[in-house]
Amino acid sequence: MRLKIAVLPGDGIGPEIVREGMKAITAVCEVFGHELEQEQALVGAAAIEACGEPYPVATHQLCMESKAVFFGAIGDPKYDNDPSAKVRPEQGLLAMRKQLGLYANLRPVQTFPALLHKSPLRSDLVEGADFLCIRELTGGLYFGRPQGRSEDGQTAYDTCIYSREEVERILRLAYGYARRRRKKLTLVDKANVLATSRLWREVARDLASEYPEVETEYMFVDNAAMRLVQWPKSFDVMVTENMFGDILTDEASVISGSMGLLPSASVGLHTSLFEPIHGSWPQAAGKNIANPLAQILSAALMFEYAFGLAEEGQAIRRAVEASMQAGVVTADIAMEGGKVYATSEVGDFIREQILSRQ
C-alpha cells in the first residue's frame, strides 16, 4: 500500500520526537511492505521565521494532498513572552485545524501496567482505566467572534458560539465510537450556566433515542474534573466542547503517569492529523531528553485511523509496551534509580522491536 504523509515537525522538541516517530513508521512500512512517501513542511514559529506566516499556503497544500499529517508541536517563548505579538505560532495550529476541517480531536487515555507507579493517583484507581476523550476542535471560545479588547485596552472579550450542526456532527461521531466500545457516552457541559452548553445538551437528548444501545450520561464540567481524579474507570467515551476538552484532556493525561504518553488524532472533513498532546517544551529542545512515546503512539493511531491498518498500529503499540517493560524510557517515566535513556535511544529500541517481527 502507498502511504503519503505530510511531516510537520514544528517547534521546540517537535523535530526530535517526530524523528523518532518516523523511525517507527519506516520500520512498519519495511516489515509490512508498504511504500512510504513523505514530505516535510514548516509550521508554527519555524514558519514565521522563514516566511512570516505560522501556516503557510505551501504547507496547507501539502497537507491537502497527503493522506495523513504527522505533526510534532508548536510554540516558542519568543512569542509567549510578547503580549503585543500580532502573529503567533499557535495561530498556525488553529488555522490548520480550521482549513483542514478537523472538527474532532480524539485522545485515548489508558494506563500501562509497567508504569502504574508513575501515576499520581493510587494504582487501584487507575489500573485498567481506558477511555476516549472527544473534543470539539473548530468552534467555541477559541474561534468565536467578536474577540478583542476595548479601545482603552482596559476590557477584553471573547465570544463562545456553537451551531446545532457543529454540535450534532461531533455527537454523532462520539456515539459511533461509543457503539464500538463499552456503549457509554458522557456529555460534559456547563448547562446550568452557559447557553451554548444548553444547546449541546438539547442536541444530545434529541440524538440519544437513535442510539438506544448506548447509555447517555450528562455531567457538568466541574463534576467531570473531579470524577477524572476520583473514578477515572467510570468513563468510556467523553465528548465535550473545545475549551472544556482542552483542559480536561490535559488533566486526564497524567492518569497514565506522564503527558508524554498520550497521542491524539484530529479528524474531520479533509486530511486527518496525528500528534502528541503535549507542547513544544522549548527548554528541552536539542537536549535529546524528551519522551517520544506519545509521538510514536500517534503514529500507531495514524496507521489505524488514516489507513485502516490495525495490525500495523498494534505492531507499534507492542514495541512501545516492550520499551516500558524493559525500562528503555526517558527520565520522566524511568524507575527511581534506574537507567535513563535518551530520546533517540528509545526510538532506536522501538524501531528494532518492530523490525524483529520480520
Active site residues: 142, 190, 222, 246, 250
Backbone angles phi, psi at 96, to 5 degrees: -60, -45
Q: Is 353 helix (H, G, I), strand (E, B) or coil?
A: helix
CB burial readout 194-216, b (16+ within 10 A) else e: bebbebbbebbeebbeebeebeb
Q: Which ranges of the chain does DSSP label H, i.e. alpha helix?
A: 14-32, 45-51, 57-65, 77-80, 89-100, 123-126, 164-180, 195-208, 221-230, 242-253, 293-301, 310-326, 343-355
Whether the Cβ atoms of residue 59 and residue 26 lie closer than 8 Å to each other: no
Torsion angle of alpha carbons 294, 296, 300, 303, nearest 10°? 130
CA distance 25 to 229: 34
CA distance 147 to 140: 12
Who contacts 43 (Cβ-Cβ below 8 Å, separation ≥6)?
A: 8, 10, 54, 55, 56, 59, 71, 74, 92, 93, 96
Which pairing describes strands 263-267 and 104-110: parallel, antiparallel, or unpaired?
antiparallel
Q: Order of strands, edge to edge, in the sheet holding 68-73? A: 35-40, 2-10, 68-73, 272-276, 263-267, 104-110, 130-136, 237-240, 184-189, 215-220
Measured at the CA of 195, the angle between CA 191 and CA 196, to 5 degrees, comes to: 85
Backbone angles phi, psi at 75, to 5 degrees: 140, 140
Q: Which of 291, 298, 309 is nearest to 264 (CA)?
A: 298
